[in-house]
Chains A and B, each alone.
Chain A
Amino acid sequence: MKRRFFQKRTVALIAVLGPLLALLVYVSLSSGPLAPVPVVLAPVENRELSPALFGIGTVEARYTYKIGPTYAGRILKLGVDVGDHVKAGETLGEMDPVDLDERLGAQKAQVKRAEAQLSETEARKEYALTQAVRYEELLKARSTSEELATTRRQELQIAEAGLAVAREELSRAIAEQKALEAQRRNLLLLAPVDGWIVARNAEPGTTLVAGQAVVEIVDPRSLWVNVRFDQIRAQGLAAGLEARILLRSQRGVEQMGHVLRVEPLADAVTEETLAKVVFEELPEPLPPIGELAEVTLALPKLPPAPLIPSSAVLRKNGTLGVWRVRDGALEYTPVVLGASDLEGSVQVKEGLKVADRLVIYSANALTERSRIHVVEKIPGVKP
């Protein structure tokens, strides 16, 4: 009767408004701060750990020889260029002697003069000797005065002294000549070892000061990688560790090597430990010196132990810990961690057992009172 009429209208309206209100309630609860937080869980697993160290290095030569003059001068000749291979003792170039040759000539003339001087004094001495002997004889025959005999004796002494002077003068001139010759030889730039010219710093005609390098030579067999490791992540760094070297210009190819030594002097400013890593086999073609390389060192594998992903670890109330899910509820559990590897796994020494389920990813920061909603993948993360 009349009831039915109202109900038809009312029912129709409820059919429209009802879902609308339900949608409102759904919307209020499923988004915003009232909604449960999506989380991804993972169990604690018992696995081996392959820890590794990672550092960045530059390719350097172990021995670099900088060849240059010992005196200021000008370059006369330079016979080698970058990329040339040279042998030990090979002449690479020459500095300009300037007046050295002339001075050598002058010195040689000086030697000759000294020699002539020597002959002269020798002759004088002979004469004085002869005179002294004769006058000695005359004195014995009383044909001459005592005074004259004495004078002749004295002249002999003077002549002998003069000879000694001339001899030493000659020695000195010869020594000075040798010195100039040595200097002359010094103007030659010689390769000290077999090697490879890597730099040519000046051209002929350039004036250099003492100590400036004209060319730089490296021994190609002595290429190594000077690697820097963050001190915080350098635990276990030791000589002999196996290394995988990835040169920047050869991204797809890994070179094998090993750690030759760990430098005793670390870099205090950048807080890095330095190590030298050598190639097992030099790569062909030789990498340029100064090229960057990424070096990964494999530390000894650790036996199976409880492992967790490092993304589960957080700091709360001053301790390191994880969110454990027990019976659907969140529980913060402090842990003590052990070694970790480069792929995000870390050992748990204390605090968790194998098969405990942990929160490894969450869409929001969690608190003890958060409601959680376990999912396979956090919404919004594209595959």
Chain B
Amino acid sequence: MEKRQVRNNIRRLRFFQNEMTQEELAEKTGVTRQTINAIESAKYSPSLELAFKIALVFGVPLEEVFTYTIADKSAENKK
């Protein structure tokens, strides 16, 4: 089975929400700014509850925020 990873569009969605800061998103979802930063840079996959909270803040369905795509091998090598 091919390797997959959780990707997200949080940066883009923040931009469309009047350039919402990571701090603001963190406050609205009840986590730290560092956690939002880690999620955005794909260093941490959030729990289902936090993922729903983030989608709720942006007012979009979950699959518009997070996608489960095939891992990019070149990106994996860079890590």
Q: Do A and B form a real pair?
A: no
